[in-house]
Amino acid sequence: MSKARTLGELRRVAPGPTESVKGEMRRNLIRKLKSGEPLFPGILGYDGSVIPRLVNALLSRHNVILLGLRGQAKSRLLRGLTSLLDPELPVLEGCEINDDPFRPLCKRCRDLVAEVGDDAPVAFLAPSDRYVEKLATPDVTIADIIGDVDPIRAARGGHDLGSELTIHYGLLPRAHRGIFALNELPDLAGRIQVGLFNILQEGDVQIKGYPVRLSLDLCLLFTANPEDYTARGKIITPLKDRIGSEIRTHYPTTVDQGVAITQQEAWTARGSQVRIPHFVREVVEGVAFAARRDKRVDSRSGVSQRLPISALENAVSNAERRAMLRNEELVVPRISDVSAALPSFTGKFELEYEGELVGAENVAQELIRRAVGGVFSVRLGAVDLRPVVAYFQAEDKLKLENDASSVDVLEQLERVPGLLDHLRHLGVGPEDPAAARAAAGEFILEGLHAQKKIGRSEDRGFEAPERASEAEANLEQLQRLRAMKGQVN
């Protein structure tokens, strides 16, 4: 088809006006569903929830809104829908609103076809040319979205201001015959929502009082924070009515899903040789899970998947820096590297008042500790580590500096009786490189610390449990006993 250069040549290969955008997307979707082709490559964790609903919405030829918190791959999902557009779409060459050569809407093209007929030149658009995205903010104007009269154009062309030829088209007409995605819809001012609705309902564009009729053909996609969207008065009802499907997105439901997403997104394949222990991946992911549950973190704004992604990148960088410093080939991040990635955690969540009192760094440190404790109890919960604990209770101390070489760390760990025998629970054997064994050994101590069985000083010296935490542990035990008693009675 792309060989056609004029309307006349196009007429010979194409039967006539193309179908609607939604019809085209439905046709391609059906073909993909039947052939079993992957619909949204790279979107993980939505197979049983978001994707079937989105497919149904597109089969229904609906306009869609995705409701979800930040970092739930909403934008990526919407951009992925361009894969449902045809590889090429014929348009009248030079048209600002991608006019169909067989059915031009704008005055320029109507005049052109009337004048030169089949000699009117055509061009072709790729799917990516047919996707327009805009972030709604309170300062977005009608001119941005729909259009405006352009006085300079009027003066240059010698047109009067009432002429259709003086219109500077906004984003919506420019997305004609394609996808228009508007992020954070509730932030759009009410009168712009009215304008959006008018164009959907009547195909009417009102530009500075000059009514122009443009029956635009669009697939409209929106995103919003669920609470903003459902809040009364944020969205005008008739516009809400025109959105056929509301689909809720979500964060990964299991740690494994989160690990898979982070593995796909984080930049860890670097020039250097990097080996990331699985327990480190689980801890990084566990921090995001813990933050999403923590009452001190604002749940309304959410905790983006970008938190574990950038934290893992930063932890790898810290390990990379140490390897360079110590002249080691292999880069293996440790739990202390996750703590060193604090700058990637603190900006990624909004704190409630309670959290503000403690400070973002302290909240983040605590979340890391909680995540370590969680992974530790799954992996080593059933292992008898009493000899290790006993070593520290006998007033012995051990200092594991984050920048210490793998060999130095191992030397320290060897002093603790039996500690290195337990590395196999973390998938690490005696034949593994020193950097991997050092990271696994350190994890065991961090885990015992997270469970308050051993103490740790500010400078990462492991030691006997602090008196305070002992008292805390005793209190916890007391409370458990009381609870049990309560159950008996």
Interface with Zn ion (CB under 5 A): 95, 99, 106, 109
Q: How far is the CB of 92 from Zn ion (least distance, A)?
A: 6
Q: How far is the CB of 200 from Zn ion (least distance, A)?
A: 20
- Sequence-separated contacts (24+) of 190-199 with Cβ below 8 Å: 190/236, 191/142, 192/140, 192/141, 192/142, 192/145, 193/235, 193/236, 193/239, 194/236, 194/239, 195/142, 195/145, 195/146, 196/145, 196/172, 196/239, 197/236, 197/238, 197/239, 197/242, 199/146, 199/172
Indicate the residue among 126 and 165 with the shorter CB distance to Zn ion.
165
Indicate the residue among 122 and 220 with the shorter CB distance to Zn ion.
122
Q: How far is residue 180 from each of residues 89, 185, 216, 244, 271, measured CA to CA in Å?
A: 16, 12, 11, 15, 39
Q: How far is the CB of 298 from Zn ion (least distance, A)?
A: 47
Q: How far is the CB of 155 from Zn ion (least distance, A)?
A: 21
Q: How far is the CB of 144 from Zn ion (least distance, A)?
A: 20
Among positive and negative, which fits the CA dihedral 288, 372, 375, 474? negative
Indicate the residue among 99 and 285 with the shorter CB distance to Zn ion.
99
Question: Do the strands 210-213 and 204-207 form a parallel or antiparallel pair, or are they unpaired?
Answer: antiparallel
Q: How far is the CB of 97 from Zn ion (least distance, A)?
A: 5
Indicate the residue among 106 and 291 with the shorter CB distance to Zn ion.
106
- Orientation of helix 434-450 relative to helix 278-293, angle to 10°: 30
Q: How far is the CB of 91 from Zn ion (least distance, A)?
A: 8
Indicate the residue among 95 and 416 with the shorter CB distance to Zn ion.
95
Q: How far is residue 31 from each of residues 36, 126, 284, 338, 482, measured CA to CA in Å?
A: 9, 19, 40, 45, 63
Q: How far is the CB of 245 from Zn ion (least distance, A)?
A: 31
Indicate the residue among 110 and 240 with the shorter CB distance to Zn ion.
110
Q: Does residue 144 contact residue 195 with C-beta atoms inside 8 Å? A: no
Phi and psi angles of residue 207, each rounded to the nearest 5 degrees, phi first: -120, 115
Indicate the residue among 98 and 451 with the shorter CB distance to Zn ion.
98
Indicate the residue among 50 and 109 with the shorter CB distance to Zn ion.
109
Q: How far is the CB of 358 from Zn ion (least distance, A)?
A: 59
Of residues 309, 312, 296, 292, the one with CA closest to residue 360: 296
Region label for 181, one of left (φ > 0), alpha (ψ between -120 and 50) or beta (otherwise): beta
Indicate the residue among 5 and 415 with the shorter CB distance to Zn ion.
5
- Alpha-carbon span 128 to 79, nearest angstrom: 9
- Alpha-carbon span 57 to 51, nearest angstrom: 10
Q: How far is the CB of 81 from Zn ion (least distance, A)?
A: 25
Indicate the residue among 133 and 164 with the shorter CB distance to Zn ion.
164
Of residues 454, 455, 424, the one with CA closest to residue 441: 424
- Sequence-separated contacts (24+) of 465-472 with Cβ below 8 Å: 465/392, 465/393
